[in-house]
Amino acid sequence: MQPLLRIAGAWPYLMAIFLNAFVDLGHKIVIQNTIFKSYDGATQVVLTALVNGLILLPFILLFSPAGHIADSTPKVRVLRLSAWAAVAVSLGITAAYYQGWFWLAFAMTLLLAIQSAFYSPAKYGLVKGLFGKPRLAEANGLVQAVTIGAILAGTVAFTALFEHWVTPSASTPSDLLRHIAPLGWLLVLNSGLQVVALYRLKLDEAQPAATPLTWARYRSGTALKNNLSILAHQPVLRLSIIGLATFWSVGQVLLAAFPAYAKEALSIENTLVLQAILAASGIGIALGSLLASKLSRNRIETGLIPLGAVGVAVGLWCLPLLTTPTSQALNFVFIGMMGGLFIVPLNALIQFHAADHELGTVLAANNWIQNLSMLGFLVLTALFALAGVDSHYLLLLVASVAMVGGGYTISKLPQSLVRFILSFLITRRYRVDVHGLENLPAQGGVLLLGNHISWVDWAMVQIASPRPVRFVMLKNIYQRWYLRWFFKALGCIPIERGAGAENALAAVAEQLNAGEVVCLFPEGAISRNGQLGELRRGYERACKHAHPDVRIVPFYLRGLWGSQFSRSSSKLKELRNAPLHRSVVVAFGKPLPKDTPADVLKRRIFEQATHSWQHAMEELPSLPEAWINSVKRSPSAPALADALGRPLNAGQALTASLLLAKRFRHRSLNEATLGLLLPTSTAGVLANMATLLAGKTLVNLNYTASQASLASALQQADIRTVVTARRFVEKLSQRGLAVESLLEGKQVIYLEDLQAGISRFERVSTFLAVRLLPAWLLQALFCYGRNADATAAILFSSGSEGQPKGVMLSHRNLMANIKQTSDVLNTQHDDVVMASLPLFHAFGFTVTQLLPLIEGLPMASHADPTDAPGVANAVAKHKATIMFGTSSMLRLFNRSPKVQPAMLASLRVVVAGAEKLDDSVREGFAQKFGKAIYEGYGATETAPVAAVNLPDAVGVHYQQVQKGNKPGTVGMPLPGTSIKVVDPESFEELPTNEPGMIVISGPQVMQGYLNDPQPHRTGPQKLRRPALVRYRR
């Protein structure tokens, strides 16, 4: 995802708000320091409160016009006009400084505040349009940090220059202003720079207001009443604004009361020291805001709200207990940091929940309530001071208010406290990314429907959603006494199986009609194979009783299959165990009507699966990097075996490939591609991995194709060097392939020759490096193929219908398909893969070669897939558990009398692909061997697997069966893969069971065809194909 600062307009916008805050704060600092130097006691407190009151007053009186203008006028234009006004006011202020007109300069604080009253709603209203709805919290954290940075910079710069220019002889306000008059030009300069920055922003769009603002409506208060009514109907907006108002009101009292307290209790006379202590709170707010931004990546982390509220209260209670400037400064940093955690999600919630056409009005209302509250607190502060109340007691009063506010926040947002606890626990191990947050409606009833992959799915959804979510859960779990209080705090809805479910569904409809968000997992059980199971139709019955405006939002959870909370195998849990943080993606789809049928809903969930997998695959390493990581996990684990040589463990296999890679690289320095003419064998696999380690694009040549097709492949891929073996060349020549003439003019590397040239010292030193060096160092020293977006392999079609086509597959395409296939296979500790398919075949290249290497599974190779007895012997010898083949190859097992059932007894999964599975082959295999064949579908262009049937899975407690296999179909799309059937002409999606063209999308879809400027894609990562198969929808 694009970093915030790289978004167009981000830098000019942030510079403008920095300069605006710098100017506003600069003049305020000058006036406050003048008051501090000239007055004492109650007079000082009252005048400080008064100058703060002048800043607040315009936000109260101009609430309606400021909101109206921000909604009906382009916000960038409002900012520009306000900036020009700041230039004019700064010039007036500068003149007052030079003349020593203190009271005029004091009064001109009001003019600066007026321009800020119009500037503020436009400034915050632009955040959503500029940075996007999903990144509101991130952007608000950055905006808050920049604003506080400006306040700190203004505090330091203006206070330091004030102290530098002021002399002991200057005792009256007029004398003080004359001494520091040049500061006025600093105000003018920064106001001018602000204008320049704002003209770098593109004008946004605005809609005319439905009801124009007239003087009569403003004077009578009708406009005020109408604008505030927006808040009355939205509790989230109201509570968020009350929280912000409380925080800033407490801050205003603190700023007004602390200087007198510091002077009396701490004996602080220097304004620089005083302002440094107060500025420490700004440092804290900036740090807290940046932390909130980091913790709210692509979501709004409302769990920070109760934490911040309690933290602020604790810090305020500590204020009167600390006696040194240093301890006070550190405490102010803490208070500010907690405040940053508190206000960033509240600001984001306001922007998220406010409708676009009302955003300016809502933000102006926020300013109005905040400033009215702050003004009220300042008036009380002044009255307390005039009544002779000591500043010490004022600080205790402020702490008490903060404590009450924190308690109120927790009582009104109990789910936020639960959410914070969940976030704290979950994010220790998981990193949650949210996609499509803009698709979650800010108001109204929403039914969230998605896949159920683990025990903690509900926690991930709650963390991802800025709105409180009510979950539907089994009643027998809900009623457990030690959990009920927790589920009740979350607002869960208990449901039981059978007739009692109707009451729960009625409760779901009731909550939806009340405008709540309800989450239901329509599968009814946790997945046992990593796939999305059959969707139950209970949600449809609940939606029948819901209001027409209720919306369904599909979602997909990616990253929890293979976690400790999933039903995956222990082997897969080991493979997917991340060393630090496990990445989890929650992807929300576009809202759907409440009457959306289950088959359409399922396709929409699959679409979100594709989006989430696309994002997750961006973090995958290249193939050789992934292999090194796998080897370092278990270097002594069995890896490769065939009938020709001794078995190799993972460390030995990597050592051999590194030795070959060094020679491949030196022999083909200026070549991008390397051709390989090798069978499915240990040597062939090692050469493949050596080519990838050398940073080359490999091309496994199809030795069963015609001489012309092979020559075409060599020419298209610009292959100048071919790796082969003398024994294999002899066999091919015996079969009638003129290898010598085919490779004429090419550099031919024979593996036997390379093996003879490797010294014992090099073998031992490389082996020791593999065993002793960490994975990252091995990758840095020996791996040249580290770009996951580079083309890893070019696979050619047979050329039976003309020139063979070269399909370009990147490291990321292949890694994605490996992870997808491994997930659905739910790999076991005792799994051994039988590899007999040719390496030039996409099925053999990815699934029976790369998958076992990357996932750390032993692989047994047999060079001839048509030698059914030989393959069966290898299965029996190595206790293979997973075998892949084509329908034609599996037919040979049925027909061969030499292949006995006991030879295939160890197999737990047999998958057929590359061609349609014949019913007679399926039935014959089941009858002879007692094994089911699971049909799949794919293409070279999809690296190759796109869909597959799986074994049925049975639940432990409820004896539910999750259907994975449906004979006569090619199964379900792989996780992260979306398959649509569309009209070939219009590309509109067709209803279920309608014939048409399939569109496959997913991270495994090819980069494109070699030397073909028109790849067969309809968009990013999509492939079009005639629909010749049936898949399960």
The two three-digit tokens of residue 416, written as one number: 């936020």
The continuous run of DSSP H or E covering 123 comes out as: helix 102-131
Angle at 873 between CA 869 and CA 879, to 5 degrees: 140
The two three-digit tokens of residue 636, written as one number: 């002594």
Residue 546 has phi, psi (to 5 degrees) of -90, 160
Residue 535 DSSP symbol: P
The letter for the amino acid at 407 is G
Residue 518 DSSP symbol: E
The two three-digit tokens of residue 25, written as one number: 């704060």
The letter for the amino acid at 948 is V
Q: Of 552, 642, 629, give the one whose Cα is nearest residue 588.
A: 552
Report the alpha-carbon distance of residue 956 to residue 953 in Å, rounded.
10
Angle at 59 between CA 54 and CA 61, to 5 degrees: 90
Give the chain's count of helices (H) and strands (E).
39, 29
Pairing of strands 791-796, 551-558: unpaired
Residues in CB range of 989: below 8 A, 6 or more apart? 603, 980, 981, 982
Torsion sign (Cα): 269, 271, 274, 276: negative
The continuous run of DSSP H or E covering 962 comes out as: strand 961-962
Three-state DSSP class for residue 1017: coil
Report the alpha-carbon distance of residue 59 to residue 370 in Å, rounded.
9
- CA 650 to chain centroid, in Å, comes to 34
For the chain, residues with pLDDT lower than 50 are 1015-1020, 1027-1031
Residues in CB range of 350: below 8 A, 6 or more apart? 237, 240, 241, 362, 363, 366
Three-state DSSP class for residue 885: strand
The two three-digit tokens of residue 528, written as one number: 């046992």
Report the alpha-carbon distance of residue 568 to residue 850 in Å, rounded.
21
pLDDT at 1026: 54
> In 670-822, at which residue ranges do the beta strands (DSSP E only) sit?
673-677, 697-700, 721-724, 747-750, 791-796, 806-810
Report the alpha-carbon distance of residue 265 to residue 958 in Å, rounded.
70
Residue 989 DSSP symbol: B
Report the alpha-carbon distance of residue 521 to residue 542 in Å, rounded.
13
Q: Of 850, 836, 872, 874, give the one whose Cα is nearest residue 681.
A: 836
Residue 583 has phi, psi (to 5 degrees) of -85, 125
Residue 586 has phi, psi (to 5 degrees) of -115, 110
What pLDDT, in 10s, does the model give residues 345-373? 888 888 787 776 777 677 777 777 877 88
Give the long-range contacts of residues 88-96, CB within 8 A, separation 24 or more.
89/115, 90/23, 90/27, 90/184, 90/187, 90/188, 90/191, 91/188, 93/27, 93/184, 93/187, 94/181, 94/184, 94/185, 94/187, 94/188, 95/184, 96/177, 96/184
CA distances from 358 to 64, 228, 240, 405, 477 (A): 12, 11, 16, 27, 43
Report the alpha-carbon distance of residue 483 to residue 477 in Å, rounded.
8
CA distances from 587 to 164, 353, 424 (A): 56, 19, 21
Three-state DSSP class for residue 525: coil
Report the alpha-carbon distance of residue 682 to residue 863 in Å, rounded.
10
CA distances from 697 to 541, 666, 683 (A): 54, 15, 18
pLDDT at 1: 53
- Across the beta sheet with 833-835, the strand order is 648-649, 638-641, 859-861, 833-835, 882-885, 909-912, 933-938, 945-948, 972-973
Angle at 496 between CA 491 and CA 497, to 5 degrees: 150
Q: Of 349, 365, 362, 367, give the one whose Cα is nearest residue 415.
A: 349
Residues in CB range of 241: below 8 A, 6 or more apart? 231, 350, 365, 366, 369, 370
Report the alpha-carbon distance of residue 831 to residue 858 in Å, rounded.
7
Give the long-range contacts of residues 700-703, CB within 8 A, separation 24 or more.
700/676, 700/793, 700/795, 700/838, 700/839, 700/840, 700/845, 701/675, 701/676, 701/677, 701/796, 701/840, 702/796, 702/798, 702/804, 702/838, 702/840, 703/677, 703/732, 703/737, 703/838, 703/840
Q: Of 11, 104, 12, 109, give the one whose Cα is nearest residue 53.
A: 109
Burial of 79 (0-12, 13-18, 19+ CB in 10 A): buried
Residues in CB range of 3: below 8 A, 6 or more apart? none
Residue 7 has phi, psi (to 5 degrees) of -70, 135
pLDDT at 984: 81
Whether residue 1010 contacts residue 807, with contact meaning beta carbons closer than 8 Å, is answered with yes
Report the alpha-carbon distance of residue 699 to residue 710 in Å, rounded.
11
The letter for the amino acid at 462 is Q
The continuous run of DSSP H or E covering 149 comes out as: helix 136-165
Three-state DSSP class for residue 973: strand
Give the residue ranges of DSSP H helices in 166-234: 173-179, 183-198, 215-220, 222-232
The two three-digit tokens of residue 599, written as one number: 């088959």
Task: Report the chain's C-alpha Rg in angstroms.
Answer: 35
The letter for the amino acid at 694 is A
Name beta bridge partners: 1024: 999
The letter for the amino acid at 220 is S
Domains and CATH numbers, the chain: 9-200+224-417 (1.20.1250.20), 430-617 (no CATH), 623-1026 (3.40.50.12780)
